[in-house]
Structure 1
Amino acid sequence: ERTQEIEDLRAKIEASGMPEEAHKEAIRELDRLAKMPPAAAEYTVARTYLDWLIAMPWKTETVDNVDIAGARGVLDEDHVGLDRIKERILEYLAVKKIRPEGKDPILCFVGPPGVGKTSLGKSVARALGRKFHRLSLGGMRDEAEIRGHRRTYIGALPGQIVQGLRRAGTKNPVLMLDEIDKLGMDFRGDPASALLEVLDSEQNSAFRDHYLDVPFDLSRVLFITTANILDPVPPPLRDRMEVIHLAGYTEEEKIGIAQQHLVPKQAREHGLVAGTDVTFTDEALRVLCRGYTREAGLRNLEREIATICRKLARRRGEGDLEPVAVTPDLVSSFLGAPRWEYEELRQRTREPGVAVGLAWTPVGGDILFIEATRMKGGKTLTLTGQLGDVMKESVQAALSWVRSHADRLGIAPDFWETSDIHVHVPAGAIPKDGPSAGVTMAAALVSLLTGRPVRGDVAMTGEVSLSGRVLPVGGIKEKMLAARRVGVKTVILPRRNEKNLLEDVQPAVRDSMTFHLVDSIPEVLSVAFEETPWRPILRLESVI
């Protein structure tokens, strides 16, 4: 019986298709096992190790579906929008069709929560016809979770990469490493450093797990990582990945996704039939998007839809079987008063000293009111609203520019000698930082000191320099979505962000607003005010 067991293991080793080094190690371990009494402590360790070697998919792989039109259909069916990622996957498929033996890319989807990064990984696997395995890296602190434990330890196991391959059962699955920006680090090692080899296409063809201690080819694995922000990811690891940014959804995209996916899903989960028992009007979904959720993704929108479905299910449980069309009035009666009501921009900017800026946040774009006021005093600048160092320096740079051009702006040259200025950014409980509010600070200060209000339908973003230049900033798509959401009609942008506007912002969003591309603060002032305070005596370049 013992001999039969050894021969069965030998046959499985031969049939597994291991490379030469792994085969030698397996035979060596099998010969040790054959000489070992079953009662020995090492017997179970050696047997478990052989089981792991045999179970690994050394030569098992799925055949990629290289039907590009079919893959496009799958991606479009599962997700609305996200065109850049879809294009990248289809490009990969086209290359695979021409050169099947090529290496797989290592992608990193970066975007706010709830925009569909994880579900997109599943969709990619379905489009390719590959197995899918997801590995959550959030809170992982032990390097052995990636590389495995050495067999000298009791209860040693391979790392999560090898375990994932075994569960997938193929050597070329789609392996999703979720939340790579949430990796931890402590005395047990740094998992991010262990991932440097895994996510390097030049090295991972011979990945050596500590437990298996034989090389395994990971070059056929399609690695997809996800992150909300890239800042916590170490630069060497970031450099190994092809980063694709996902911005938030437009309001129209959210309504389309809700009608196509979220409403049927929540109706089904609450025992209702979408389209028969319950229908949501587009107006009701628009009210949900604007008044009850403020997010780049869809999770809170889905929760609010689920709340309405629960209340309708209760109605049916109490005997009211009439079909229901959910309207804005019904939304208000079920959910109460809206959590967010966007203030009228014109109302906030009627007073001189207030300007509207655009900000990027990890959960999408938002608008930012910059308020400035002046009181009797001398040479004191007060900044409030939990501003970070970079934002404080932006205010100081803007004030210095205004002081140095006071005569051109029609401001008393000695205003700084007799005034204290206070700049405040409301929502004081929320920390704020970054250089992109520089032009808004300058506009608010000019508005305050000249007594002219900024136009109420204008929002702006851009960094300022001491020489009055407007420098490019990031997060353009998220900022434009925020501007559109609150009814901004005119947006002032740095001229060097024109490419971001054309490439990243959907035509429907661009067509709904007027964009002014500027290089200098005088150009900003000419758009931001009904009548510019800047006196065109000389060109800016000749003044500087």
Structure 2
Amino acid sequence: MSDEKKKGPSSAAAMPAAMAPPGMINKEDIPQVLPILPLRNSVFFPGGVLPLAVGRQKTIALIKDAVRDDQVIGVVTQRRAEEEDPGASDLYTMGTVARIVKLLKMGEDNYSLVVQGLARFRVLDLVQEAPYLKARVDAVEDRTASENVEVEALGINLKKLAREVIELMPELPAAATELVESITHPGHLADLIAANVDVPIEEKQAVLETVDLKARMNLVLELLNRKREILKLSNKIDSAVKGEMSKTQREYYLRQQLKAIKEELGEMGEEEEELDELQERLKKAGLPPDVEKVANKELNRLKTIPAASSEYTVARTYLDWIADLPWAKMSEDNLDIENARQTLDKDHFGIKKVKKRILEYLAVRKLKNDMRGPILCLVGPPGVGKTSLGQSIAKAVGRKFVRLSLGGVRDEAEIRGHRRTYVGALPGRFIQSMKKAGMKNPVMMLDEIDKLGADFRGDPSAALLEVLDPEQNSTFSDHYLDVAFDLSKVMFIATANQLDPIPGPLRDRMEIIELTGYTFEEKQSIARIHLVPKQLKEHGLTPDHITITDEALLILTTAYTREAGVRNLERRIADICRAVAVEVAGGKTEKQNVDGNRVKEILGPEMFYSEVAERTEVPGVSTGLAWTAAGGDLLFIEATKMAGKGGMTLTGQLGDVMKESATAALSYLRSKAESLGINPNFLEKTDLHLHFPAGSIPKDGPSAGVTILTALTSLLTGIRVRGDTAMTGEATLRGLVLPVGGIKEKVLAAHRAGIKRVILPERCRKDLQDVPEQARNEIEFIFATRMDEVLEAALEKSPFKEGADKSLPPQPEATPEVRA
């Protein structure tokens, strides 16, 4: 906006709620020089309160200075509204002294302010044009005393005429009459009426410039009398139009009769047929009573709206949504538990926790018919089959399946829908998915629920609280429908890679089931049963063209992929299928047997190999285990020493907790130096450096404490760490080994890397029951409660001197405090 103009209509209908009495400033208090605010399309009177929208740079500079210095300004109307930069000749000579009572910043170059009129003034001459106009002014007072008898009579006539005008305008509030009656000052009354009568700007300015009170009141009386005559004529025209409307109503009644006749003759119009069809659909939709009441009311309104109107389309679309939703339609659950077990086993290998939970639900559902749908959240690394599991569950239960991807959703309206006041409004994704399912009880997959975003449009995760609350979702309210919809029969299955990004209240509403990575044996079984047949079909091959041996699958899982899931394994199988497809398409007909050598020929050199033994060939390197969102990984810790002054450097993008673990490990090692055969003063002329490879990846947590201590002990004693051993656990200053989390993921990572021995805290022994049997059988587990047990198990030989005391030496007694 580049203009200063009055906000709102400038007609008599815009009667202000209140006007301050004029004369709120003494003549001597008005400065001789005033900043001038040019006003377009309006005239401002003393005693008035006027909202203005300001956009011109000069005016913005003026109001900033005025507000800062708390000074009054002059408001003068422009002669020509289109003039962008008015000068002296473009302004009237009479204006109003005003005070800024409110200022709001609406945008970068857009302000809204409210000004209050105080007194009239006359512009003598301009004294400044930049950065804004300033003028020398002369304050003007009314010439006729307000106590004059003639003035009093004119005031009575003005009030009488104003009452008549207000009665002729029913759109004005009743308070308008009371406002006019409450004004006692004649000049104030004349200014109020002139400000609100719909007359040209020039005539309003003439009222402002009339200083003589009697002349001004006569002028306003003339304007008001003219307005009354115009309103009388307008009301006469309205009466004639109402008579015409009665005729229109008669025509409507006749049209309804004509419609009935056409219906009897089978000549119904297309629009009438559509509305009758819509009414029939609404009857068959099985709407709840409150929804049926709203739908019938909207349908009756729709019948009165012309088809060409935009409102017709909005109302019609709304009723279509209500008619299409499955208010009462439900699919019959297949409660055969044995059939569900076979279906789940056929589609997915392993994942016993989820299968067990679904079978439990079916068993209870069989015993109790009105059970609410469960709300599950499958958490696990990418590629373990979370999303495809939803389809399998729907097939096992015999329900419709709909998938709703929540990754990257930032707008709360995506969940709850838009209100119908907006153009192109639609219901939220949940209502859309219910329409797509066509049933009241589908299996709804909420994919990537941990990837929800939030911005100024709202927080979608907060909107999900109602959807995923069993106590609330039976009356879910979508902004578009504006009626309650029952989501309690839906079986919600959310998927996530991590739990941390999910807000606590939302996480609390879901039943968390963790899915971990697969072992090599499980991956080979999945490849043999699911992936190979799928890729053969997608590449146009049959078992007559190709056979992939178990040896080839083993090499694929160990040497060409290293992941918790099976996505990359499927890609490698697809690479092999494409290579064979090229040969088959080239005319080669004999069946191809893909073994280990053929895999290396197609895929090239092995991508992964066990580097544990190579890494631990020298003292000072130990192998730890870390938890990651992808299911766990190995963590190598390298230590070295050099001449220095006892400093310790830590590199590898470490968090504070891991740095503190390194400091604690060094302190423990110094306390045990003698029993380990290390010079107690080894730090006096030595600097230590601990490095955690893969420096671009942030690392933190206490579980590397035992690994750090083992690496430092190996470095200072010169004894190598065993190449087949990995470890995890938190080490304390007293030499204790405390439990840590993520044991299952860490053990599976060790198994994938070919580790044969894993050292764990004693209190983590119970966590091994979640580890697959294959991994438990192929790995030797050593459980430790103290660090000396870890060192003896991890190093190639015992680091302790023969007969050395392995317990932590006693701390020196504290010197008793001496008080004077």
Please give the range of the TM-score, normalised by the shorter of the 2 chains: over 0.9
Structure 2 partner of 1:35:
304
Bigger mean CA offset, 58-67 vs 458-467: 458-467
One-letter amino acid matched to 2:427? P
Structure 1 partner of 2:255:
none
Q: 2:730 aligns with which of 441, 463, 481?
A: 463
Q: 1:338 aligns with which of 606, 612, 628?
A: 606
| Displacement after TM superposition at 1:426 (Å) | 2.1
In 2: Cα distance, 1:25 partner to 1:180 partner: 34
1:293 equivalent to 2:561? Answer yes
1:515 equivalent to 2:781? Answer yes
Q: 1:312 aligns with which of 576, 580, 583?
A: 580
One-letter amino acid matched to 1:89? I
Larger radius of gyration: 2
In 1: Cα distance, 2:809 partner to 2:491 partner: 56
Q: 1:115 aligns with which of 384, 393, 408?
A: 384
1:311 alignment partner, SS class: helix
| Displacement after TM superposition at 1:534 (Å) | 4.2
| Displacement after TM superposition at 1:337 (Å) | 0.9
One-letter amino acid matched to 1:473? V
1:252 equivalent to 2:521? Answer yes
Q: 2:552 aligns with which of 284, 288, 297?
A: 284
The Cα RMSD (Å) is 1.7
Structure 1 partner of 2:790:
524
Spell out, residue by residue over 1:255-313, the C-alpha distance to the aligned partner (whole angstroms, 9 max, x if none): 11111111111111111103x21010111111111222121111111111111111111
Q: 2:750 aligns with which of 477, 480, 483?
A: 483
In 2: Cα distance, 1:224 partner to 1:146 partner: 16
| Displacement after TM superposition at 1:203 (Å) | 1.2
Structure 2 partner of 1:161:
430
In 1: Cα distance, 2:277 partner to 2:583 partner: 63
Q: 1:409 aligns with which of 676, 694, 719?
A: 676
More relative contact order in 1 or in 2 (CA 8 Å, sep 6+)? 1
| Displacement after TM superposition at 1:543 (Å) | 4.5
Is residue 671–residue 809 contact of structure 2 (8 Å, CA) maintained in 1? Answer: no
Is residue 476–residue 484 contact of structure 2 (8 Å, CA) maintained in 1? Answer: yes
| Displacement after TM superposition at 1:114 (Å) | 0.9
Structure 1 partner of 2:419:
150
Structure 2 partner of 1:197:
466
1:177 alignment partner, SS class: strand
Query: Aligned residue pairs: how many?
Result: 541
Is residue 16–residue 59 contact of structure 1 (8 Å, CA) maintained in 2? Answer: yes
* Structure 1 pair 542–375 and aligned structure 2 pair: CA distance change class (3 A): closer
1:120 alignment partner, SS class: helix
In 1: Cα distance, 2:451 partner to 2:603 partner: 34
In 2: Cα distance, 1:337 partner to 1:539 partner: 48
Q: 2:349 aligns with which of 72, 80, 83?
A: 80
How does 1:238-249 map onto structure 2 within 5 Å? 238-249=507-518
One-letter amino acid matched to 1:499? K
| Displacement after TM superposition at 1:4 (Å) | 4.7
* Structure 1 pair 530–336 and aligned structure 2 pair: CA distance change class (3 A): closer
> Where in structure 2 are there 5+ consecutive unaligned residues?
1-267, 812-820
Is residue 180–residue 225 contact of structure 1 (8 Å, CA) maintained in 2? Answer: yes
In 1: Cα distance, 2:728 partner to 2:622 partner: 11
Bigger mean CA offset, 238-247 vs 378-387: 378-387
Bigger mean CA offset, 376-385 vs 521-530: 521-530
| Displacement after TM superposition at 1:466 (Å) | 2.6
1:215 equivalent to 2:467? Answer no
TM-score, L = length of structure 2: 0.64
> Where in structure 1 are there 5+ consecutive unaligned residues?
none
In 2: Cα distance, 1:540 partner to 1:77 partner: 56
| Displacement after TM superposition at 1:222 (Å) | 0.6
* Structure 1 pair 407–280 and aligned structure 2 pair: CA distance change class (3 A): same
2:675 alignment partner, SS class: helix
Is residue 525–residue 534 contact of structure 1 (8 Å, CA) maintained in 2? Answer: no
TM-score, L = length of structure 1: 0.96
One-letter amino acid matched to 1:144? A
1:499 equivalent to 2:766? Answer yes
Spell out, residue by residue over 1:470-498, the C-alpha distance to the aligned partner (whole angstroms, 9 max, x if none): 22222222211221222222111112222
| Displacement after TM superposition at 1:348 (Å) | 2.4
Structure 1 partner of 2:650:
383
One-letter amino acid matched to 1:27? N
In 1: Cα distance, 2:445 partner to 2:725 partner: 42
1:200 alignment partner, SS class: coil
2:624 alignment partner, SS class: strand
1:415 alignment partner, SS class: coil
1:417 alignment partner, SS class: coil
| Displacement after TM superposition at 1:533 (Å) | 2.6
1:244 alignment partner, SS class: strand
In 2: Cα distance, 1:91 partner to 1:499 partner: 25
Spell out, residue by residue over 1:295-332, the C-alpha distance to the aligned partner (whole angstroms, 9 max, x if none): 11111111111111111111111111110010111111
Structure 1 partner of 2:456:
187
2:563 alignment partner, SS class: coil
Bigger mean CA offset, 163-172 vs 434-443: 434-443
Bigger mean CA offset, 13-22 vs 214-223: 13-22
* Structure 1 pair 233–327 and aligned structure 2 pair: CA distance change class (3 A): same
1:361 equivalent to 2:628? Answer yes
One-letter amino acid matched to 1:282? D
Structure 2 partner of 1:25:
294
1:373 equivalent to 2:640? Answer yes
2:726 alignment partner, SS class: strand
In 2: Cα distance, 1:136 partner to 1:60 partner: 24
| Displacement after TM superposition at 1:40 (Å) | 1.8
Percent sequence identity over matched residues? 59
